[in-house]
């Protein structure tokens, strides 16, 4: 099948890149693939791993007698990058354990006893749907639709089965009068807001631009571990480094897998102090005249006094702040930065000179650096390094944000339009339960209304573990959820029993991605530069009475509005017919694309790599007048005019600050917080190859080979008489968790870490599941009102049962 460059760009909607005219890689038919194993297996079905790691990879499901025998992965294409297989990692290949998990939900359940006790009894689908429908009607009548929430969740990101942002329940409830919206995400709340104020967007360059660079500087970025597999940026990152031979510097408190075999220098840093490091680097560049003044004057607002916007204080530039002419009268010398970051001043000087002199330089940050109580400041500060050195808009550069991809394909999502526009920051849903009607735009970042109309009274949670496990301060959150006079009704829909659905009133058994047909959401922009489409063929019938979200919605629609609402919701289509309809709409008048039935049989369709990986802000740098940024001034706002206005009008919590400059702001529960005298160790969670958030924790084989370990530096372990393998109690004022110690020099002294995603399980006041959010704070960040979950202080001692 021949695809021209023009045709590919037309149907793909790719941004910022072109694709080489090429032939779509031949995909062996199912019949060809089953020649050898035809007698042994009833079917081999294509599917995809839909868990939200950022990658989306193909798997092949081997079936006999409506049972999954085993799972393999993509076997089409070769080993060379660009024609490579979209191979799933071990997590993706373990999906069979999710289907046949001992805690698999097979029937609807109803709570008995107190909410949170975890006691349920089996009920019929009719009783479950009747109960949900009656409660929805009651809440709508008594409180209005603004009291209904479908919370943020990312457990499954498919096409129709997309739980997090689009999906059947959002379509149905939109037709039933709507529900409260949310904005931001747990992943990117701080960086997406911070870089939007800075650049007008938070998108970055394709990671394959590393092919064209000479120096790579990563702040807390770990693509090899967080985005593993053939569809992820980890593979692309290693490939690009092999081609460019660039020097690599990683700035990170932890020596991660991304550093192994691909790092020339590891610079450990105190968590939450990235803005202080950047300030020290800036001081060297300014003092030694290494910064790109011409670039800063042409493209930026607020680096020096001559580019400050109208109304800014005379000494309010970033240069004034760095050189001690600002309000704090403190020079941000390398020695000043050393005291905060624990990076030697000599290292800071050398790093500043290297970043300023080596071009092009690809600077990126992972999402860990911004997930602090001062995260917006860190994100903007790191971006300032790019513009100070003129490393923007040309081959081999990024913007200082996280790497992105050139383009991706979204073949299908159910259309809906929520009549309610009011929106809360997604992290503040517990606040909205307790004090919703008090929350305003100036105190809580509410959007599209000045003040919320109602507290949250009804939650419908589908495919997510954020109700308890991925939210902050799990003990406090548990108390909020247990009180059914606050949120009166909770529905949880999932494939297994989780720590979140323990707090539900009704639990509905969901069909897994292997038990239904859907398109796999290809990447959402976090894969490499080679687009593809995966169609999940139904491998087996759902276990027990499990059901797809789409079919659940048909049942609920009938109870809420009779056949009229059913017809409006379905438009007369089944789930597969919707997939066909949406495919045809997306690719109509594109004869080079396969028909829906052809795609359905193929399972996977791959396209050539983009000829030119996307470069962020390339057009702006070429002509800033013709291509202004989406900031108020049209330029890069080192001094943010919008944040300046917010600083004057928003009402903040005690100790919080909004600053128009990317200054270092001390973090609550950070390295300089006085409470560190009581809790001397900083702790943060990291994304782990054994889990995606909390998904796959339920798979015992995966959990066995990826234990929930607490990393401790030998100096900290010795003080506490701890050794590898010991059980340790980690605690602060929020709670206590139990973990197994791993003593290693791969973590900075004074800092400790464990994988995030362990399932919350409180036994006698101790979380024996090792959920790090038992130790984290519910107070949101100042600007984006997002989760500060990497700002936490603890003490550790040997556990004695």
Question: Is there a single domain that holds both residue 453 and residue 372?
Answer: no
- Residue closest to 377 by CA, chosen among 631, 641, 638: 638
Q: Is residue 81 part of a domain?
A: yes
pLDDT for the residue numbered 527: 67
**Would the pLDDT of 25 be above 50?**
no
Question: Is there a single domain that holds both residue 475 and residue 525?
Answer: no
118 conformational bin, left if phi > 0, alpha if psi -120 to 50, beta if neither? left
Query: What is the pLDDT confidence band of residue 56, given thresholds at 50, 70 and 90?
Result: confident
Q: Which of 18-27, 480-489, 746-755, 759-768 has the lowest mean pLDDT?
A: 18-27
At 235, which helix (H) or strand (E)?
helix 233-244
Q: Which of 125-129, 191-195, 479-483, 590-594 has the lowest mean pLDDT?
A: 590-594
pLDDT tens, 143-199?
999 999 999 988 777 778 776 678 899 999 999 999 999 999 999 999 999 999 999
**Would the pLDDT of 579 be above 60?**
yes
**Would the pLDDT of 29 be above 70?**
no
Rounded to an integer, the average pLDDT of 364-375 is 96
pLDDT for the residue numbered 54: 76
pLDDT for the residue numbered 530: 80
Question: Is there a single domain that holds both residue 355 and residue 454?
Answer: no
Per-residue HEC secondary structure of 162-182 comes to: CCCCCCHHHHHHHHCCCCEEE
pLDDT for the residue numbered 22: 32
pLDDT for the residue numbered 523: 61
**Would the pLDDT of 18 be above 70?**
no
Rounded to an integer, the average pLDDT of 602-624 is 93
Question: Is there a single domain that holds both residue 130 and residue 231?
Answer: no
Q: How many CB atoms lie within 10 A of CB 240?
A: 26
Question: Is there a single domain that holds both residue 266 and residue 328?
Answer: yes
Q: Is residue 145 part of a domain?
A: yes
Q: Which of 336-340, 350-354, 368-372, 688-692 has the lowest mean pLDDT?
A: 688-692
Rounded to an integer, the average pLDDT of 34-60 is 80
Rounded to an integer, the average pLDDT of 13-23 is 35
Residue showing tokens 């605690």: 731
Question: Is there a single domain that holds both residue 254 and residue 336?
Answer: yes
Give the number of C-alpha atoms closer than 13 A to the C-alpha of residue 98, restricted to the C-beta side. 27
pLDDT tens, 638-697?
999 999 999 999 999 999 999 999 999 999 999 999 999 999 999 999 998 888 888 888
Hey, which of 408-422, 595-609, 639-653 has the most confident mean pLDDT? 639-653
Q: What is the 8-class DSSP label of residue 588?
A: T
Hey, which of 4-8, 15-19, 94-98, 385-389 has the most confident mean pLDDT? 385-389
Distance CA 776, CA 679 (A): 13
Question: Is there a single domain that holds both residue 343 and residue 370?
Answer: yes
pLDDT for the residue numbered 525: 54
User: Please, which residues have CB within 8 angstroms of residue 723's CB and are 6 or more apart in sequence?
Assistant: 717, 741, 743
Question: Is there a single domain that holds both residue 326 and residue 345?
Answer: yes
Q: Is residue 761 part of a domain?
A: yes
CATH number of the domain that residue 758 is part of: 2.40.40.20
pLDDT for the residue numbered 367: 93
Q: Residue 710 in contact with residue 741, Cβ under 8 Å?
A: yes
| Max Cα-Cα span within the chain | 80
Question: Is there a single domain that holds both residue 362 and residue 224?
Answer: yes
Per-residue HEC secondary structure of 94-145 comes to: CHHHHHCCCCECCCCEEECCCCCCCCEEECCHHHHHHHHHHHHHHHHHHHCH
- Residue closest to 523 by CA, chosen among 232, 276, 292: 232
Q: What is the DSSP string of 365-389?
A: E-SSTTSSTTHHHHHHHHHHHHHHT
Q: Is residue 391 part of a domain?
A: yes
Query: What is the pLDDT confidence band of residue 703, given thresholds at 50, 70 and 90?
Result: confident
Round to the nearest angstrom and report the end-to-end CA distance of the chain. Answer: 66
pLDDT for the residue numbered 522: 67
Rounded to an integer, the average pLDDT of 363-370 is 95
pLDDT above 70 covers what percent of the chain?
A: 94
Q: Provide the sign of the torsion angle of the four alpha carbons 531, 533, 539, 542, taken in this order.
A: positive
pLDDT for the residue numbered 34: 47
Question: Is there a single domain that holds both residue 296 and residue 166?
Answer: no
Query: What is the pLDDT confidence band of residue 14, given thresholds at 50, 70 and 90?
Result: very low
What is the rounded average pLDDT for all residues in the chain? Answer: 92
Q: Is residue 603 part of a domain?
A: yes
Q: Residue 166 in contact with residue 156, Cβ under 8 Å?
A: no
Of 12 and 768, the structure prediction assigns the larger pLDDT to: 768
Pairing status of strand 532-536 against strand 604-606: antiparallel
Q: Is residue 221 part of a domain?
A: yes
pLDDT for the residue numbered 583: 94
pLDDT tens, 559-570?
999 999 999 999
Looking at the structure of the chain, the number of domains it has is 4
Q: Is residue 555 part of a domain?
A: no
Distance CA 450, CA 442 (A): 8
Question: Is there a single domain that holds both residue 41 and residue 62?
Answer: yes
**Would the pLDDT of 613 be above 80?**
yes
Range of the domain at 282: 190-404+617-649
Q: What's the Cα-to-Cα distance from 621 to each of 298, 357, 361, 431, 731, rounded to whole Å?
A: 9, 20, 16, 42, 49
pTM confidence score: 0.93
Question: Is there a single domain that holds both residue 77 and residue 219?
Answer: no
Query: What is the pLDDT confidence band of residue 577, given thresholds at 50, 70 and 90?
Result: very high
pLDDT for the residue numbered 726: 98
Name the packing angle between helices 375-388 and 274-287 (round to 10°). 30
Q: Is residue 565 part of a domain?
A: no
Q: Which residues on neighbouring strands pair with residue 712, listed in sequence order?
A: 743, 752
pLDDT for the residue numbered 163: 65
Pairing status of strand 636-637 against strand 300-301: parallel
Q: Residue 24 in contact with residue 77, Cβ under 8 Å?
A: no
Pairing status of strand 300-301 against strand 265-267: unpaired
pLDDT for the residue numbered 164: 66
CATH number of the domain that residue 157 is part of: 3.40.50.740
């Amino acid at each position: 099948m021949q695809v021209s460059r023009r045709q590919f760009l037309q149907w793909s909607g790719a941004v910022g890149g072109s694709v080489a005219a090429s032939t779509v890689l031949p995909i062996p038919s199912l019949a060809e693939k089953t020649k050898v194993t035809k007698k042994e297996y009833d079917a081999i079905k294509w599917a995809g791993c839909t868990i939200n790691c950022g990658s989306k990879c193909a798997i092949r499901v081997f079936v006999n007698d409506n049972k999954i025998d085993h799972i393999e992965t993509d076997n089409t294409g070769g080993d060379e990058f660009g024609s490579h297989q979209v191979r799933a990692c071990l997590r993706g290949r373990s999906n069979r354990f999710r289907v046949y998990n001992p805690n698999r939900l097979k029937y609807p359940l109803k709570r008995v006893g107190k909410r949170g006790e975890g006691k349920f009894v089996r009920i019929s689908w009719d009783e479950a749907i009747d109960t949900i429908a009656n409660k929805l009607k009651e809440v709508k009548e008594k409180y209005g639709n603004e009291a209904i929430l479908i919370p943020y969740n990312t457990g499954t990101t498919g096409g129709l089965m997309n739980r997090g942002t689009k999906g059947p329940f959002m379509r149905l409830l939109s037709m039933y009068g709507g529900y409260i919206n949310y904005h931001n995400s747990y992943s990117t709340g701080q960086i997406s807001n911070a870089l939007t104020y800075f650049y007008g967007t938070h998108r970055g360059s394709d990671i394959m631009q590393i092919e064209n660079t000479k120096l790579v500087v990563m702040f807390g970025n770990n693509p090899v571990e967080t985005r593993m597999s053939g569809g992820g940026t980890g593979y692309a990152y290693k490939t690009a480094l092999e081609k460019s031979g660039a020097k690599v510097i990683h700035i990170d408190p932890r020596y991660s897998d991304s550093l192994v075999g691909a790092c020339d220098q590891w610079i450990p840093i105190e968590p939450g102090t990235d803005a202080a490091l950047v300030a020290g680097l800036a001081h060297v560049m300014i003092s030694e005249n290494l910064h790109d003044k011409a670039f800063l004057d042409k493209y930026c607002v607020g680096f020096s006094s001559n580019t400050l916007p109208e109304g800014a204080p005379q000494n309010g530039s970033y240069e004034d702040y760095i050189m001690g002419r600002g309000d704090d009268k403190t020079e941000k010398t390398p020695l000043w930065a050393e005291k905060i970051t624990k990076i030697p001043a000599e290292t800071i000087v050398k790093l500043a000179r290297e970043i300023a002199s080596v071009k092009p330089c690809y600077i990126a940050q992972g999402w860990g650096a911004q997930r602090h109580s001062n995260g917006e400041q860190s994100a903007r500060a790191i971006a300032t390094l790019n513009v100070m050195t003129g490393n923007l808009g040309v081959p081999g550069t990024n913007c200082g944000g996280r790497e992105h991809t050139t383009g991706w394909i979204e073949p299908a999502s159910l259309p809906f339009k929520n009549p309610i526009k009011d929106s809360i920051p997604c992290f503040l849903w517990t606040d909205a339960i307790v004090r919703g009607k008090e929350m305003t735009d100036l105190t809580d970042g509410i959007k599209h209304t000045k003040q919320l109309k109602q507290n949250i009274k009804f939650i419908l949670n589908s495919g997510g573990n954020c109700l308890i496990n991925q939210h902050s301060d799990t003990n406090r959150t548990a108390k909020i959820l247990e009180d059914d006079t606050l949120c009166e009704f909770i529905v949880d829909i999932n494939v297994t029993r989780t720590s979140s659905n323990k707090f539900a009133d009704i639990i509905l058994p969901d069909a897994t991605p292997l038990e239904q047909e859907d398109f796999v959401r290809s990447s959402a922009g976090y894969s490499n530069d080679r687009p593809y489409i995966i169609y999940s063929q139904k491998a087996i019938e759902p276990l027990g009475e499990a059901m797809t979200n789409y079919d659940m919605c048909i049942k609920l629609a009938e109870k809420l509005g009779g056949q009229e609402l059913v017809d409006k919701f379905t438009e007369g289509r089944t789930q597969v017919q919707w997939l066909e309809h949406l495919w045809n709409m997306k690719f109509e008048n594109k004869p080079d694309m396969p028909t829906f039935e052809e795609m359905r049989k193929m399972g996977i369709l791959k396209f050539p790599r983009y000829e030119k990986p996307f470069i962020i802000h390339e057009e702006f740098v070429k002509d800033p007048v013709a291509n202004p940024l989406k900031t108020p001034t049209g330029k890069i706002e080192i001094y943010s005019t919008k944040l300046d206005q917010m600083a004057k009008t928003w009402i903040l919590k005690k100790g919080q600050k909004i600053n128009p400059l990317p200054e270092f702001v001390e973090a609550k529960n950070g390295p300089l917080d006085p409470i560190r005298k009581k809790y001397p160790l900083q702790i943060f969670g990291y994304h782990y190859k054994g889990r995606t958030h909390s998904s796959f924790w339920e798979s015992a084989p995966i959990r066995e080979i990826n234990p929930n370990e607490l990393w401790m530096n030998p100096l900290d372990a010795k003080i506490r008489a701890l050794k590898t393998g010991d059980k340790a109690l980690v605690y602060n004022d929020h709670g206590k968790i139990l973990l197994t110690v791993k003593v290693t020099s791969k973590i900075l002294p004074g800092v400790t870490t464990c994988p995030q995603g362990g399932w919350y399980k409180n036994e006698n006041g101790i979380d024996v599941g090792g959920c790090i959010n038992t130790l984290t704070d519910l107070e949101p960040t100042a600007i984006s009102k997002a989760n500060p979950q990497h700002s936490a202080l603890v003490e550790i001692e040997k556990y004695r049962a």
